Structure 1
Amino acid sequence: MRRYATIVKHDLTMLVEAGMLERHEIEVLLTLCEELHFGRTADRLRISTARVSQTVAKLERRLGVPLFDRSSRRVAATPAGRDLYAELRPAWDRISAAVEHTVATGRGRGGTLEVAFVEAATGQLLTRAAELFRERLPDCAVRIREAQPAQVIPWLREGEIDIALGALPVHDPDITAGPVLVTEARILAVPVNHRLAQRRSVTLADIPAATVLTGTGTTGELLTSVGAGKGVLPIGAHARRYHARPDVAYVPLRDAAPVQWVLLWRKGNDSARIRGFVSAAEAAAQPG
């Protein structure tokens, strides 16, 4: 019988590669080996008992070796059937898992979600959102990375990242902005010896436009320029906590619009993963 098992394994490989073995035939074979009962096999696969019997008979004729011994009282796998099951079960499990993973990814529920942030404070919010997201969609991994403000839109457009936490307004027609997650007051970062540093508050009219820093770079780099006396920087109030520096003073801007933080993603990329992460971020942003 070992000779038959070897023949069966060889023939099975050829049959599978040639597309001559159907999915339902493999499922019937594996299930009957586990149940050793035609009725229970039919129930598990939601087909008729006659269909199970016909499928097994067809396989045995094709392979040229009996796979089961059956009588009115019992069903037992032959040595060839047991060997075939042992060879086929792990491979079929891997194939099934691969197919399920591919389908899930195609539907936007699997794979890896690439997320970017531009501020330390928003990075913490994204970390909490990622924890909630993984509880809801455990098949999808999350990778969080820091970006410079000027990198966010190009990265989204080019597919470098899937979603990012950025500030409004966003004028790019190819980018979708989600609901506002965090709103904070705007303050002005000035050199500690600046004429406005001791003011209790300032207005936009108090700030010469020529002195406002507009270059690219991280928040830390821009604040280093502020501390060096190269200009001033309107920024969210979180800077007091996350960017406290001896060379920079923060003064409230009483007539400036607040900073609104939202999730951004590429239009047309409204997948289950994106929707799931937006929902998780909204929950993470709730107080308490």
Structure 2
Amino acid sequence: MELRDIEIFLALAEELHFGRTAERLRVSQARVSQSIKQQERRIGGALFERTSRSVRLTPLGERLRDRLAAGYAEIMAGIEEATAAARGQAGSLTVGMFDTHPQEVAAVLDLFRQRHPQCELHVREILPTDPISALRAGRVDVALLWLPIHEPDLVVGPELFAESLVLAVAPSHPLAGREHAELEDLGDYPVVHPDGPIPDYVWQAHTPAVTPKGRPVRPGVTVVTLAEAFTAISTGRVISPIGSYSATSRLRRDITFLPLTDAPLLRYAPVWRSAGETPLVRAFVRAAADTL
């Protein structure tokens, strides 16, 4: 029995109507009738009872349907998996992002999963103070990082989204009573400094080395994680620009967030190793661009 004949039999067993079966499979009604007759001759018994008003399975047809349905499902699953693998859509993909962004990119992850159900998608947290090491070590395949990224071994995709910067200070800090802050204020107080291998030019997109008037921004407490930064800020010893997504997801009584009126936006894009570009990486970037 040919695979197409199995499809015709199973479709007719479900539709119980020659016309609907033909329309569903995009073949002629005569092709459906011919296939069923050939199968019945080959088997040596009727598979369907036909009248002018109805079509129904015979007991023999019911047994054949039950046996063929499971086997057909396995065959089609195998074909789909092989096709997905050939197109680079199977396997696994690990996406790195800061812990403040999963909700912002949830729609991207959902769309990617819908388009590539055969792919195992993993999300891994990366630290703002060490955004690149996980990529280079192969622990993540693509990462959502703030720009700029100018590394010869990394590829930067299209800009996907942006967030504003706010200034985080302790409620007891002299700036806390202000309605807003400016980048020039960074020259008056020690500022959180990263304890990690983030390139200086990347960190300066977040916290500049000098104020707009050219005054140096003094590094204060060094931190590895956002939690460490907030703990240090809450003591009043340091202040720090913080992404607005971090501020809204980490509302705390011991931190006051002030709008930074003249700060640039943090702009984010997918980044991946040029030597590690795969069809799945490109598929994720397309899903991100289509969503965001």
TM-score range normalised by the length of the shorter chain: 0.5 to 0.7
- TM-aligned CA distance change 1:215 to 1:267, over 3 Å: same
Q: Corresponding residue for 1:222?
A: 229
Aligned equivalents of 1:261 and 1:270: distance in 2?
Answer: 19
Shift of 1:150: 3.3
1:117-151 deviation line (CA, Å, top 9, x unaligned): 1132x111333211111111111121112221234
1:133 pairs with 2:112: yes
1:153-181 deviation line (CA, Å, top 9, x unaligned): 11111111111112112232212222222
What is the DSSP-based 3-state SS (H/G/I as helix, E as strand, rest coil) of the residue aligned with 1:201?
A: coil
Query: Out of 268, 271, 277, which is 2:278 matched to?
Result: 271
Query: Out of 139, 142, 156, which is 1:177 matched to?
Result: 156
Query: Out of 129, 138, 144, which is 1:159 matched to?
Result: 138
1:109 pairs with 2:89: yes
Q: Percent identity?
A: 33
Confirm or deny: 8 A CA contact 1:107 1:271 kept in the other structure. Answer: no
Structure 2 spans left out of the alignment, 5+ residues: 7-40, 44-70, 196-223
1:84-108 deviation line (CA, Å, top 9, x unaligned): xxxxxx8xx79x94x9757744653
1:1-288 to structure 2, matched below 5 A, reads 97=78, 101=81, 104-105=84-85, 107-120=87-100, 122-208=101-187, 211-216=190-195, 217-285=224-292
Aligned equivalents of 1:125 and 1:273: distance in 2?
Answer: 21
Shift of 1:244: 1.0
Shift of 1:189: 0.8
Greater helix fraction, Structure 1 or Structure 2:
1
Letter of the 1:175 partner, please give it: L
Confirm or deny: 8 A CA contact 2:166 2:241 kept in the other structure. Answer: yes
Report the TM-score when normalising by structure 2. 0.60
- TM-aligned CA distance change 1:260 to 1:141, over 3 Å: same
What is the DSSP-based 3-state SS (H/G/I as helix, E as strand, rest coil) of the residue aligned with 1:179?
A: coil
Confirm or deny: 8 A CA contact 1:190 1:197 kept in the other structure. Answer: yes
Shift of 1:205: 1.7
Aligned equivalents of 1:159 and 1:102: distance in 2?
Answer: 25
Aligned equivalents of 1:185 and 1:205: distance in 2?
Answer: 17
Q: How many residues were matched structurally?
A: 207
Confirm or deny: 8 A CA contact 2:163 2:267 kept in the other structure. Answer: yes
- TM-aligned CA distance change 1:193 to 1:145, over 3 Å: same
Report the TM-score when normalising by structure 1. 0.61
What is the DSSP-based 3-state SS (H/G/I as helix, E as strand, rest coil) of the residue aligned with 1:150?
A: coil
- TM-aligned CA distance change 1:107 to 1:209, over 3 Å: farther
Shift of 1:269: 3.0
Aligned equivalents of 1:125 and 1:270: distance in 2?
Answer: 24
Confirm or deny: 8 A CA contact 1:202 1:253 kept in the other structure. Answer: yes
Aligned equivalents of 1:207 and 1:215: distance in 2?
Answer: 16
Confirm or deny: 8 A CA contact 2:168 2:240 kept in the other structure. Answer: yes
Confirm or deny: 8 A CA contact 1:165 1:264 kept in the other structure. Answer: yes
Aligned equivalents of 2:85 and 2:225: distance in 1?
Answer: 33
Shift of 1:208: 2.4
Aligned equivalents of 1:242 and 1:228: distance in 2?
Answer: 20
Confirm or deny: 8 A CA contact 2:124 2:140 kept in the other structure. Answer: no
Confirm or deny: 8 A CA contact 1:119 1:219 kept in the other structure. Answer: no
Aligned equivalents of 2:246 and 2:288: distance in 1?
Answer: 21
Find the structure with the greater CA-based Rg.
1
Letter of the 2:244 partner, please give it: A
Structure 1 spans left out of the alignment, 5+ residues: 1-29, 36-73, 77-89
